[in-house]
Amino acid sequence: MDEYRQTTAADASLPAHARSSLNHCNLPPVILGSLTFQHHPAPLSLDGVAELHDALFQSLDGIDDATRRAENFQDYMRSGFLLDHPEEAGLPERPGKKHRGRADYLRILRGWLFDPDSKEAAVLKGWVESRFGLLPRNHQGPVGDINSLPYQAYLAARTQGLYNTNALESQLDLLYTYCQYEIARQFPGQTHLTLYRGINRINEHEVLHQPGRHRYILVLNNINSFTGNRERADEFGDYILEAAIPLSKLAYLPGLLPGRLSGEDEYLVIGGVYEVNLSAF
């Protein structure tokens, strides 16, 4: 095979086994998950979320300080989803049993940062699947198609993580929408960030094409951790993936919620087909 041949449409397209036919976004999975989208991104919006919470974003428009906006956002989340009073959302305390109503968007983020194969991570991957139509490619190991046993195990973990919680995926909808709002204010006119991810083997990913010695076109998991610090990426593998990440594919970025999460140097990147450079540190 000539590794320097031009990329074809098949190389650039998101494979059918990595996407569903439906989502809750303004663009279909086959488009937002494609290599073309990485090179020429467009804004992504979740159906009805910004409109439903218009009062929040109108109030944020008048605040110049990003930290104050984050505080207002978190106050809105607490009041809008009754996070401090889950019993008012119909989730009464049951003595001797774990209160699942306490599983909020912050706990999902913490769970992901602690273990990307946890139940919380399965919820996050399931949210990406539902909202963007991108199927997970890895959860506690490679995930096959929707009929495979690994996919069914992932579904079970996702269901356990969502059971008896308070509109958890709607909380993640608003977190993503707020993240995109902040990106528009903090990076006006910018479309991409160069980010890094440490890996041990390139065959951990589904490689579609290798257009150059150190360049790969591959399918990323439907959500992934990246960092803006190349040295930091080296702590997580022998090789480093470097990619131009569309800002519209960021679900979380460092400092979005100041002081609330450890490991805040992580970016959460929605997956699909990406062209990356691979190098040793």
Per-domain residue ranges of the chain: 9-44+188-280, 49-186
Please report, as a single letter, which amino acid is at residue 230.
R
The sign of the CA dihedral 268, 24, 100, 119 is negative
Q: What span, in angstroms and rounded, lies between the C-alpha atoms of 82 and 88?
A: 7
Summarize the confidence of residues 128-135 as an average pLDDT.
Answer: 98
* Whether the predicted pLDDT of 277 surpasses 70: yes
> What does the pLDDT read at residue 264?
61
Residue 98, classified by CB atoms within 10 Å of its CB into exposed (0-12), middle (13-18) or buried (19+), is exposed
Q: What is the pLDDT at residue 249?
A: 98
Does the pTM of the predicted model rise above 0.85?
yes
What does pLDDT average to over the chain? Answer: 90
d(CA 275, CA 242): 9
> Is residue 261 very low, low, confident or very high in pLDDT (cuts 50, 70, 90)?
confident
Distances, alpha carbon 271 to alpha carbons 49, 69, 138, 268, 275, in Å: 21, 28, 11, 9, 12
CB-CB neighbours of 227 under 10 Å: 21
pLDDT band at 232 (very low <50, low <70, confident <90, very high): confident
- Give the pLDDT confidence of 237-251 residue by residue, as tens digits: 889 999 999 999 999
Q: What is the pLDDT of residue 6?
A: 55
Q: Which two tokens stand for residue 257?
A: 């919620």
Higher pLDDT among residues 190 and 6, named by residue: 190
DSSP 26: S
Residue 205 per-residue DSSP state: S
